[in-house]
Amino acid sequence: MFIDYYEVLEVSPNANSETLERIFRYFAMRYHPDNRETGDEARFSEIVEAHNTLKDPVKRAQYDIAYKDHAGLRRELTEEASSTKGVERDVVIQARLLSLLYAKRRHDVSNPGIGDVELERLSGCPREHLEFHLWYLKAKGWIARVENGTIAITVEGVDRVNSEHRRDPTIRLLDHTAS
């Protein structure tokens, strides 16, 4: 797990060595285990580790590379979280997976599963993205692995597909125009 040493010391990534030393001394005195009022051994160790890394120019340069990578990942996560497109896309992929597994179960009740590679191919979703959707659908109880190792829709999954089908307004419109 990445530890943000700048956050630990409550300084900017642009802080100079003098600022780092001053802040370190302040926190070291405050959290030192010998301080009976505010001592905190775990916090003190964290502060010492952060200081030792950031005071050494070579270690700090190496740390800053990891820090920038981590900051980039945080930015990506924040952007993805603020966009509804990712969630909407996930809903479509999950519905597609359930529909594929539903169709397979209806077609061959005695052999209802689809293998991982085939599911990846049919869904058009790469394996690294598919794992999230499979995890979610399994956790909801809508799909499960069967004895032969393939993935199949469960009774709860069939109920889910049926409930979504009944709510789809385009289906209702088609039913009304056909009569």
Q: Is the pLDDT of residue 97 over 60?
A: yes
- At 6 the three-state DSSP class reads helix
> 7 - beta bridge partners?
none
Q: Which domain holds residue 14?
A: 5-82
Question: According to the model, what pLDDT value does residue 87 have?
Answer: 77
**9/47 Cα distance (integer angstroms):** 7
- Calculate the CA dihedral of residues 66, 70, 72, 78 and round it to 10 degrees: -170
7-37 confidence digits (pLDDT tens)? 999 999 899 999 999 999 999 999 999 999 9
169 pLDDT tier (thresholds 50, 70, 90): low
- Specify whether 109 is located in the same domain as 161: yes
Question: According to the model, what pLDDT value does residue 71 have?
Answer: 76
> 153 - beta bridge partners?
143
- Specify whether 49 is located in the same domain as 68: yes
**22/34 Cα distance (integer angstroms):** 20
140-155 confidence digits (pLDDT tens)? 999 999 999 999 999 9
Amino acid identity, residue 159? Answer: D
Q: Pick the range with the lowest mean pLDDT from 45-54, 59-68, 161-170.
A: 161-170
- Specify whether 102 is located in the same domain as 173: yes
40-61 confidence digits (pLDDT tens)? 999 999 999 999 999 999 999 9
Residues near 174 by Cβ (< 8 Å), separated by ≥ 6?
none
The model carries a pTM of 0.52
**27/48 Cα distance (integer angstroms):** 9
119-132 confidence digits (pLDDT tens)? 988 888 888 889 99
| CATH code for the domain in which residue 16 is found | 1.10.287.110
Identify whether the C-beta of residue 63 lies closer than 8 Å to the C-beta of residue 54: yes
